[in-house]
Amino acid sequence: MIINSCAFPRAALVGNPSDGYFGKTIAFVFDNYRASVQLYETPELTFLPSTRDYTVFKNLEDLDNKVDAFGYYGGIRLLKAAARQFYLYCKKHGHSPEKSNFTIRYESDIPNRLGLAGSSAIITAAMRAMFQYYGLPISNAELANLVLATERDELSIPAGLQDRVAQAFNHPVFMDFNRRFMEEHGYGDYRCIEIPQEINLFVGYRTDLAEGSEILHSRLRGDYNAGIPAVLDAMKEWAELTGQMTVALEQRDHAAITKIINRNFDLRCEVCSSSISEKNLRMVTLARECGASAKFTGSGGAVIGTFEDEAMFTRLRTTLKQYDVEVIRPRIVHSGGEVPCPQL
């Protein structure tokens, strides 16, 4: 039996980066890109490399380009970490997988290291494949926790639950990470919501250079743990903005949605300005100069916002393209579960 599984990039509509600080967020996944995993039975446990794992290059320029795009670490480490966390999960819950070993491989066209949750997409797809292979159940909330543990505990990647929740649910999700609820249940209070189709959303991402999110998260975590008043107040306001966005979406209040998106980013600048690079700031600035709203989809490298009409969207694409930013309309996934994935 050959199992094909996939997961999609995530865009945070509002509330980020409060998800790691007992805040509230709204996020969704979109299927313009995807991470795909293929798993099948074999005598030995085998992890096959993909393009970003290659160790042979045409020349030094090719090496430089690959490092810019993928960093120094490929996706094999993600698959290994996912398999180990899956094994530990099985031991903890008394599962004893009866089938033999497997070979697993992946492909991904999700723009890498740009705040679109490309790494967690690979892990989510791998987890889905392993649970299906061994015939084991897992809830969406537990799956998100397991993917987070893979990144945070196995790979020491600073991360929050938001990305993994959106990818686990395959549906726009309102997430409340209330501390008391989290401590009692082990996960947040998640509710699937609808994002009206008439709301014109765009996602733009840089094509010139990928950046990790470690710097932002490490600095923000330090300020939060130190009890810096401005940071604590910002976390509360991001949560409030998320509540306001829920109402605005339900009422189709386009003006309020625009205002909330812009405020989300302006607040980030107030408390995280030193962690925002010039090129990342330029994306937001250029989009707003075109008349659109804009904020980061994650920690930088990609932006999300709203536009009014086709003329504005064309202006966005043309203007940002001059600065190595690709602009797309995200196709929001509303499946609420696993989706068909093509064979690799």
Whole-number Å distance between alpha carbons of 301 and 112: 9
What contacts 250, CB < 8 A, 6 or more positions away? none
Quote the pLDDT of residue 209.
62
d(CA 249, CA 269): 25
Q: What is the Cα–Cα distance from 268 to 299, expressed in whole angstroms?
A: 10
pLDDT for position 217: 57
DSSP label of 148: H
Residue type present at position 250: E
Q: 126-178: per-residue pLDDT in tens?
A: 999 999 999 999 999 999 999 999 999 999 887 789 999 999 999 999 999 99
Q: Give the DSSP H/E element, type plus range, for residue 310.
A: helix 310-321
What are the residue boundaries of the structural domains of the chain, listed by start?
Answer: 2-192, 201-328
- C-alpha 93/C-alpha 87 separation (Å) is 10
Question: Which residue ranges of the chain lie beneath pLDDT 70?
Answer: 209-218, 336-340, 342, 344
Determine the Cα angle at 162 with ends 125 and 148, to 5°: 55
Do 67 and 211 touch, CB atoms closer than 8 A? no
CATH tag, 2-192:
3.30.230.10
CB 67 within 8 A of CB 113: no
CA atoms within 13 A on the CB side of 314: 3
Q: Please indicate whether the domains covering 2-192 and 201-328 agree at the CATH topology level.
A: no
Q: Which CATH architecture has domain 201-328?
A: 2-Layer Sandwich (3.30)
Provide the token pair at 35: 């991470």
Q: Count Cβ atoms below 10 Å from residue 151 Cβ, excluding itself.
A: 23
- The alpha helices in 150-277, defined as continuous H runs, are 162-169, 179-185, 214-225, 229-250, 254-272
**What integer best gives the mean pLDDT of the chain?**
92
Q: What does residue 139 show for φ and ψ, rounded to 5 degrees?
A: -80, 160
The residues that are catalytic are 163
Q: How far apart are CA 70 and CA 152, in angstroms?
A: 19
Say if CB 298 and CB 14 are below 8 A apart: no
Cβ–Cβ contacts within 10 Å for residue 301, how many? 25
The reported pTM is: 0.92
Q: Output the pLDDT for position 22.
A: 93
- Per-residue pLDDT tens for 287-333? 999 999 999 998 788 999 999 999 999 999 999 999 999 999 999 99
Name the DSSP class of 263.
H
Q: What's residue 218's pLDDT?
A: 64
Say what the pLDDT of residue 14 is: 98
